[in-house]
Amino acid sequence: MINIGICGYGNLGKGVEAAISQNEDMKLIAVFTRRSPDSIKLQTPNVGVYSMKDMAKFKDQIDVMILCGGSATDLPTQTPEIARMFNVVDSFDTHAKVYEHFLNVDKVALESKKIAIISTGWDPGMFSLNRLMMEAVLPNGNDYTFWGKGVSQGHSDAIRRIKGVVDARQYTIPVDEALQKVRNCENPILTTRQKHIRDCYVVVSNPDDEPRIEKEIKEMPNYFNDYDTYVHFVSLEELKKNHSGMPHGGFVIRTGKTGFNLENNHVIEYSLKLDSNPEFTGNVLVAYARACYRLNKRKECGCRTVFDIAPRDLINQSYEDLLKHTL
Amino acid sequence: MINIGICGYGNLGKGVEAAISQNEDMKLIAVFTRRSPDSIKLQTPNVGVYSMKDMAKFKDQIDVMILCGGSATDLPTQTPEIARMFNVVDSFDTHAKVYEHFLNVDKVALESKKIAIISTGWDPGMFSLNRLMMEAVLPNGNDYTFWGKGVSQGHSDAIRRIKGVVDARQYTIPVDEALQKVRNCENPILTTRQKHIRDCYVVVSNPDDEPRIEKEIKEMPNYFNDYDTYVHFVSLEELKKNHSGMPHGGFVIRTGKTGFNLENNHVIEYSLKLDSNPEFTGNVLVAYARACYRLNKRKECGCRTVFDIAPRDLINQSYEDLLKHTL
């Protein structure tokens, strides 16, 4: 049995909790929060919620701590701090800062003799793994990543910060025409606008503000102005009824050529279609928590990513069974 | 530089030769054959062709021997024999006998202190890896593998053995309706007939034999009688013009549920669309040859499969670059 702790109980923490319940070799020991522990009710019976300050007391009871904080401010400090005491898994997803995060965490984990697996989830995570594998087996080619259809939390939040907006939900949607060009081995050079559209459902307090709010959304730098953006004004009831889920997904596609005259084309495609982004991400974190536990049992230590983990370490099955039934 | 030998120069051997030319860290040293070496002309300049009997002379010059023989009779004996002298990679694809092959090869490779990676390619190989990864991250679900559209060498050969058949080509084609049911999370229970159809292009010496030959194909046990089989009689010219390629591909799809009430559905799909089955397979073998070399450099030995190999060992890039650009 692998004893798991969860640090942070937002959407992702809840997704990890649900994931643990699907894995027979895992047991949830405790959840840690910055909020008042009394304010949190878990789905799992007989598991306690504790203040993050009390984490050290669980040093000998928890095999792997799964970190469910955010990448902007939580994980850059939490992952190295907590790796002083525990094996950890995180889903740090600021692509541009992954290497810096890796170096910070590696230093601590080598000292504490723990294993830290960073940047798991689906992107980074499963998508990264596929980008690497596809390039390894098709070196002469190009890969493309498309996201969606799915809810972008960051873009939804950006709309909510506009004056007069009550609530909002933003969907990122890949452009079908671009997907088809990629699949047809056309190796297109695609602008930001050609790859994704942004579809926004917005609740406002005063309908007179709609023209201004629509303009502010569409012209927002970085978030929307480089995209074809569609704005739909809806009632709060409609938003809650039709847009309360957290679906996501996407595509990694690589096309490439083989043969001495590069005469043969190949297409490799990996796609995800997820009803619940945090629950699927939670499942991935739990699979990497299993690998984290096993690596540390073998006396390994330091920081790892999905690129370091042998597939067999992710699954609760004997090697013999895997060779007989999965290979 | 990783020095590679190729054992067997049929379609797969040629595919491996082409693959080596696309990988800057690889060099082809020699090709070994059971045929007369003089009868073979390579695409790569200044590389010799030798009799398999002379392989031992290259013991110190070749880092990894890539075995390109067939699974029925060649590899069960060749892989263990050659693993006495060389690190080896094979594409043994008789799923039912993989475990036995593993045990045979492991014993030898542990003694010789070499690494042998067996059953690489795309199925077994990339598809196996995806089956494992998908189950690891979505334990509550079902996976499905579909093959095609592509040429099945075994089924084409079976048709050629029928009296009066001059040549033949058989395409395995997944049934679209079945694919859609799987993608819709219907978890269908599919019979052999419901998953694939078999489409045959056949050249006969005497048109009067066509009814008998069509009947013999459609009723052939194991190969055709469990499938909806279509037979098209064509001229030799047409067969050569339109059916001389070796395309293949397929799909691995897993659907599964998450959430405490299993309320959320997820679909993971991996697909390949290959113009040349042997050239793509060759590329996969070469990537695993790289891992084979690296593992042995780290003093590891014994038999491995795709389940044991960490993704980073497959690619010719620094870890820092991978974290910065691929993760």
Give the model's pLDDT for residue A170: 97
| B137-147 average pLDDT score | 97
> In chain B, what residues touch A128 (CB-CB under 8 Å)?
326-327
Task: Please give the order of strands across the beta sheet that includes B87-89.
Answer: B48-51, B26-33, B2-7, B64-67, B87-89, B115-117, B302-304
Q: Which residues contact B273 (CB under 8 A, 6 or more apart)?
A: A266, A267, A269, B249
Q: Which residues of B touch A136 (CB under 8 A)?
A: 287, 290, 311, 314-315
Q: Which of A98, A137, A323 sits opposite B287 (nearest CB)?
A: A137
Mean per-residue pLDDT of chain B: 97
C-alpha A203/C-alpha A192 separation (Å) is 27
Cβ neighbours, 10 Å, residue B107: 14
CA distance readout (Å), B318 to A132, A307, B306, B322, B323: 12, 12, 21, 6, 9
How far off is chain B from A240, nearest CA to CA, in Å?
18
Helices B75-82 and B98-112 cross at an angle (nearest 10°) of: 20
- Gyration radius of chain B over CA positions: 22
Q: Do B323 and A306 touch (CB under 8 A)?
A: no
Count Cβ atoms within 10 A of the Cβ of residue A164 and give its class: 0-12 exposed, 13-18 middle, 19 or more buried: middle
> CA angle, A246 as apex, A75 and A277 as ends, to 5°?
50
B contact test, residue of A264, A306, A319 with most B CBs within 10 A:
A264
Which residue, among B16, B42, B149, B274, has the nearest Cα to A141 in the 3D structure? B274
Nearest CA in chain A to B283: A137
Q: Nearest C-alpha of chain A: how many angstroms from B200? A: 23
Distances (CA, A) of A9 to A31, A32, B129: 7, 7, 32
C-beta atoms of B273 and A287 within 8 A? no
* Facing A324 at nearest CB: one of B22, B99, B135: B99
Phi, psi of A243 (to 5 degrees): -135, 35
Alpha helices in B64-97 (DSSP H): 75-82
Strand partners, A115: A302
Taking an 8 Å cut-off on Cβ atoms, the answer to whether A327 and B98 are in contact is yes
Q: Residue B264 is encoded by which pair of tokens?
A: 């959320």
Q: What are phi and psi of A184, to 5 degrees?
A: -80, 10
* Contact check, Cβ <8 Å, A326/B131: yes
**B299-315 mean pLDDT:** 98
CA-CA distance, A119 to A95, in Å (whole number)? 9
Instruction: Look at phi and psi of residue A255 and say left if phi exceeds 0, alpha if psi is from -120 to 50, else beta.
Output: beta
Rounded distance between C-alpha atoms, residue A248 and residue B117, angstroms: 36
- Tell me which H or E stretch contains B54: none
∠ CA B255-B260-B266, rounded to 5°: 20
Please work out, in degrees rounded to the nearest 5, the angle formed at the alpha carbon of residue B292 by the alpha carbons of B311 and A293: 45
- The count of residues in chain A is 327
pLDDT, tens only, B178-227: 999 999 999 999 999 999 999 999 999 999 999 999 999 999 998 999 99
- Taking only the tens place, the pLDDT of each residue in B58-90 is 999 999 999 999 999 999 999 999 999 999 999
Rounded distance between C-alpha atoms, residue A49 and residue A51, angstroms = 7
Question: What is residue A130's predicted lDDT score, i.e. its pLDDT?
Answer: 98
Per DSSP, the residues of B122-175 read BTTBHHHHHHHHHHHH--SEEEEEEE-SEE-HHHHHHHHTSTTEEEEEEEEEE-
Alpha carbon separation from B40 to B32, B36, B47, B264 (Å, rounded): 10, 7, 11, 57
Q: In A173-244, which ranges are continuous DSSP H helix?
A: 176-183, 192-195, 210-218, 236-242
Beta bridge partners of A304: A117
CB pair distance less than 8 Å for A327 and B119: yes
pLDDT number for residue B287: 98
Q: How far is CA A51 from CA A5, A17, A56, A276, in A?
A: 12, 17, 11, 27
- Name the residue among A140, A264, A283 with its Cβ closest to that of B258: A283
pLDDT for position B202: 98
* From B136, B275, B287, residue closest to A136, measured CB to CB: B287
DSSP β-ladder status, A248-258 and A264-274: antiparallel
DSSP string, A268-305: EEEEEEESBHHHHHHHHHHHHHHHHHHHHHTT--EEE-
Letter for the amino acid at B43? Q
Tens place of pLDDT per residue across chain A (327 aa): 999 999 999 999 999 999 999 999 999 999 999 999 999 999 999 999 999 999 999 999 999 999 999 999 999 999 999 999 999 999 999 999 999 999 999 999 999 999 999 999 999 999 999 999 999 999 999 999 999 999 998 899 999 999 999 999 999 999 999 999 999 999 999 999 999 999 999 999 999 999 999 999 999 998 999 999 999 999 999 999 999 999 999 999 999 999 999 999 999 999 999 999 999 999 999 999 999 999 999 999 999 999 999 999 999 999 999 999 999
ipTM: 0.97
DSSP letter at B314 equals G
Minimum CA–CA partner of A266 in chain B:
B274
Write the residue in B124, B269, B319 that is nearest to A271 by C-beta: B269
Residue A28's Cβ-count burial label (10 Å; 0-12, 13-18, 19+) is buried
Asked whether the beta carbons of residue B124 and residue A258 sit closer than 8 angstroms, the reply is: no
Please state, as a whole number, how many other Cβ atoms lie within 10 Å of the Cβ of residue B204: 22
Give the separation between CA A4 and CA A31, rounded to whole angstroms: 9
Question: pLDDT tens for residues B240-275?
Answer: 999 999 999 999 999 999 999 999 999 999 999 999
How many Å apart are CA A114 and CA A293, to the nearest integer?
9
CA distance A105 to A108: 5
- Interface with B, mutate which of A120, A184, A277, A307 (most B CBs under 10 A): A307
pLDDT of residue A15: 98
Distance of CA B156 to the CA centre of its chain: 17
